[in-house]
Amino acid sequence: MVDFTLTDEQKNMREMAHEFAEKEIRPVAWEYDRDGTWPQDIIEKAWELGLMNSHLPSEYGGPGLGYLDGAVIEEEMAWGCSGISTSLSCNGLATAPIALAASEELKREYLGRLSEAPLLASFCLTEPDAGSDVSGMKTTATRKGDKWVINGSKCFITNGEYANYYTVYAKTDKEAGHRGISCFIVPRDAGVVVDKHEDKMGQRASNTATITFPEVEIPLNHLVGEENKGFKIAMMTLDRTRPGVAAMAVGVARAAMEFAVEYSKQRVQFGVPIAMHQGIQFIIADMATKVHLARLATWNSAVLLDQGKRNTLESSHAKRFAADIAMEVTTDAVQVYGGYGFIKEYPVEKLMRDAKILQLYEGTAQIQRLVIARETLLPRRAEEPVEAAA
């Protein structure tokens, strides 16, 4: 029997996350969005409360929470602000490859750092010419004596300007396509250069930067997993992090729906609140259905991970559907507000801008469809997922 009833502990965790989002994030979210400023104070408070690094194993100082636990927290954080939520949750993306494949020495060093202080780490896969086509990456890692030398540049890196270290994918065999990619940990102080701060349409409170590795030397033992096995590690990572992105999409959509519901009860047209008009009621009903089903898909993809099962298909279902409905629901919320929805004084235009990136990062909606199609058409040949942007 399938049962998505939350435990008392999970309900308490959700209440704590919601209270934090309501009191610490919501009141300043639109200010951070307007100015594109960095929410360091919120990061420090969230870290103190244990609302960051939810998947960090307990043996390395983390809370060791499950994937469903993480999804519950991330929905509430994104309900507050998905830009700030992205900054708070990105450590999970950077550390998943380490937890999956790194040596015990690297795990203790780099996972342990995040439990000792409110530090950040970044996941570096995407390049200007290698987004969805990961095999086209040009960043290289060359073995020289007792060092790896990393050369190249990565773009659209979340928390890139503030990261303590980077999980970097680079070609160790230039001729082997995706089979020549390896994964490395690169400390910031090894010579990493922050090249460009991106001025984004939405999620402006999250930091996005271009990061360059100019002849950056790291020890040989900073290879994560086996040489030339980085692509598989990256795809396994995204299976584990897409439920979190889906949960953020649910949070954004839910916020937009709630604003639309509240506004529709207050706005009077033709002598009655617009909530009394069937046209508006149908929009609200569609919003509620989409949010509900997206949450169920998200929780399903997370629970499979908690059960130790492969969730490639389900995580793509969840990420694709939740991101798409977030865009639809936020757009409809603007429609419910009418002309006011287009004005920055009102909250829904921010949510609409924020929602768009959810269809793009950690695998575009089109990449998710490729995964879904292949898993559906050729399930027995689905052991190594297709290229996906992150």
C-beta of residue 83 within 8 angstroms of C-beta of residue 25: no
Spatial distance between the Cα atoms of 35 and 29, rounded to a whole number of angstroms: 10
C-beta of residue 257 within 8 angstroms of C-beta of residue 290: no
- Residue 9 annotated as catalytic: no
Sole residue written with tokens 């490395």: 184
Spatial distance between the Cα atoms of 354 and 348, rounded to a whole number of angstroms: 10
C-beta of residue 49 within 8 angstroms of C-beta of residue 20: yes
**76, 161, 362, 387: which is the annotated catalytic residue?**
362
Active site residues: 362
